[in-house]
Structure 1
Amino acid sequence: MIPLICESQFFPSISVSAALGRPIAEQDVLGDLVVASAPVDCSVAEGGPKEWMFANWEEYLRTPQSLHPHAAGPNANAPEIFHLAVRLHPADRDLRRPEWAEIAQRLTRATGLAPAGDEHACRWVALQARPGRLDVIANPIREDGTRARQPWPVHEALRNECRLIEVDLGLVPAQPGGGRPLTAHLPYQSPSLPPPVTEESPPAVAALLATLMYQLADETNGPIASVRGLVEQAAHRLEELPHSYGPAAGHRLEWIARRLYGIQQDLKAAAADLPAANEHATLAPRMPAAPHPTPARRSR
């Protein structure tokens, strides 16, 4: 699970649009996309939160600023809406709605937005609008007019809680370095197949090529996994940039990483279909990836 603290905004619409991956209108009903929220005052709108339009959620999130105009931070002109997101590993299982709700509640506690048992905590809403992703959008002004006391650094507290959630829910851990050596530390060799041997039987050749494809798709030392990890890392770094082009470019790289993961799965399927794919091919070559600069933070 990879956490990301997004750029703060003046209006919830910008953060909600980023969570949905599309523009949002006041009449849009978020419905089942809302997996959890702070206790809501149903006087804001008729019906329960599932029936609320976005305009109702916007009013709900912005109300603390209206009720407590002097609760602004050191910079009174700074944006107030806090937005964090977490992404699961592509190999993770599909989580159930209660599990997403549990994750949202644990993240808001870890970031100081809603401490356990606090009746005056911040207002927040959690959206599960895209596969493998959860977005939590909050107003850091508490119901009592004070500001949330968030841990410092909040990024570290968020990462630590994500590691605990991975263990508790049995998710794929985001290990430093992805559990494999950085490609910058590997000697580069031009990939090549061994020369054909006339005495080799067709099943032996098939087993050799199947093993090769398994190595290409390997999540531990495979070159595609290394490339995919660097692409994911670049995507997260771009989304952290306080510029308009950053999130769009980061989202594009996320899709590139997903396609690379799809290529790995296709290679495994193709290898499994070959005759004698389960035979051990002792002559299968290792395929070291081309070296890249060492990333600042590995995403998987």
Structure 2
Amino acid sequence: MIAKLHGRGISSADALAEALGRPVNDQEGLTTEGTVIAYWSLLDYYTDESRIWSSVEWAQHLDDPNWQHPFAASPQGDRRAVLHVSVRLHPDDRELTSAEWADVGHRLARVTGIAQPGDEQACRWIAIRDQSHRLDLLANLIRGDGTWAAMPAQVLHVLAAECRRVEADLGLLSLRDHHVGPLQQHTSAMAQTASDMLDPGRVAQLSDEAHRHLAAARRLVEKAAQQLGTSPSNGPGLAHQLEWIARRSHALESDLAEITLGRPRTPAGGPAAPLPAGLPSARAARPR
């Protein structure tokens, strides 16, 4: 199970839309017997199992503390009160039951500090399950008494630790199980690639291909430099920059030729790549 801490915001509608994977809609009903798999303890004062709220209404109820306590802010003065946390299962994990998903939602609400058992002033929160193998926890960090929820300093680490406990309790794949297989395959592929690269014939082939691509790119740069050299405004200045790039490309081509064909490398003080016809040298263009 992998946890993700989304950026905090000021609108529950935006967070709910992200959790649902679609915009909120006043015609779409979400119930506590379906998509809303878990929720804050005092929600029963507002609704019951037969009551259907639209996704817009759910977002409005999560935003109510913003209006009830308009001056509430974090100790750092942050007013972004909407928390969004999501967890997802590995594709090879078994499907969890509704009761198991609800338990995960309550556990996430507890470890993040937004709803401790027996706290009547706890934050408003809901756990949304509308995407396969994923659960989204949405909460307003403004508590019922107008204070800001005290979250752990390293909340993502706390969430990750809780995910490990959930995996153990529910018999899910661990984080190690998620990555060992692919990592071993990737390491094996890298070893095979390294072995292939040690073959002299393969080295020569790759170097020759790189040489051809560099030569083609250098010709395009030289052509652009030649055209810019005759244009007004900043054309000549850009032309000199392209000329420098062409020279560097020529040096790389010389290095590759030395590797593949045993050609001597052009010494640093030796002749440089030929300039595009009609262009002055960069050295002559520099101010003295």
TM-score range, shorter chain: 0.5 to 0.7
Q: Residue by residue, what CA displacement relative to the aligned partner does 1:38-92 show, whole Å, maximum 9, x if unpaired?
A: 0244565x65475122233122211111122222125656422110000000001
Partner of 1:187: 191
Equivalent AA in structure 1 for residue 148 of structure 2: R
- Structure with more relative contact order (C-alpha pairs < 8 Å, separation 6 or more): 1
Instruction: Return the offset for 1:168.
Output: 0.2
Q: CA RMSD in A?
A: 2.6
Deviations 1:223-254 (A, max 9, x none): xxxxxxxxxxxxxxxxxxxxxxxxxxxxxxxx
Q: Distance in 1 between matches of 2:71 and 2:176?
A: 43
What TM-score does the superposition give when structure 2 sets the normalisation length?
0.60
How do residues 66-85 of structure 1 correspond to structure 2 at under 5 angstroms? 66-74=67-75, 78-85=79-86
1:9–1:80 Cα contact (<8 Å) kept: yes
Q: Quote the sequence identity (%).
A: 36
C-alpha separation in 2, matches of 1:49 and 1:15? 25
Q: Distance in 2 between matches of 1:90 and 1:191?
A: 33
* Amino acid aligned to 1:73: S
What is the CA–CA distance in structure 1 between the aligned matches of 2:137 and 2:38, rounded to whole Å? 9
2:266 is aligned to none
Amino acid at match of 1:14: D
Q: Quick check: 2:90–2:178 contact (8 Å CA) kept in 1?
A: no
Contact 1:34 1:50 in 2 (8 A): no
Match of 1:3 in 2: 3
Q: Post-superposition, which runs of at least 4 consecutive aligned residues in structure 1 deviate over 6 A?
A: none
Letter in 1 for 2:19: A
SS at match of 2:166: helix
**CA, structure 1 residues 49+179, in 2 after alignment: closer, same or farther (shift >3 Å)?**
farther
Which structure carries more helix by proportion? 2
Who is 1:54 aligned against?
55
3-state SS, counterpart of residue 23 of structure 2? coil
Match of 1:100?
Answer: 101
Task: Measure how far apart 1:27 and its partner are.
Answer: 2.9
Q: Could you say if the C-alpha distance between residues 179 and 123 of structure 1 is closer, same or farther in structure 2, counting changes exceeding 3 Å?
A: same
Rate the CA distance shift 1:131–1:113 in 2: closer, same or farther, 3 A.
same
Q: Deviations over 1:245-293 (max 9, x none)?
A: xxxxxxxxxxxxxxxxxxxxxxxxxxxxxxxxxxxxxxxxxxxxxxxxx
Q: Does 1:142 align with 2:143?
A: yes
| Paired AA for residue 111 in structure 1 | T
- Contact 2:16 2:59 survives alignment (8 Å): no
The TM-score normalised by the length of structure 1 is 0.58
- For residue 110 of structure 1, what is the aligned residue in structure 2? 111
Query: Unpaired segments of 5 or more residues in structure 2?
Result: 197-288
Tell me if structure 2 keeps the 8 A contact 1:29–1:50: no
Q: Give how far 1:179 is off.
A: 2.4
**How many equivalent residue pairs?**
191
Report the structure number with the largest CA radius of gyration: 2
Contact map agreement 2:72 2:142 (CA 8 A) in 1: yes
Secondary structure, counterpart of 1:22 in structure 2? coil
The C-alpha deviation readout for 1:184-239, integer Å capped at 9, x for no partner, is 684233899xxxxxxxxxxxxxxxxxxxxxxxxxxxxxxxxxxxxxxxxxxxxxxx
Q: Write the letter of the residue equivalent to 2:96.
A: L
Say if 1:168 and 1:42 are closer, same or farther in 2 by CA, change over 3 A: closer
Tell me the residue number matched to 1:129.
130
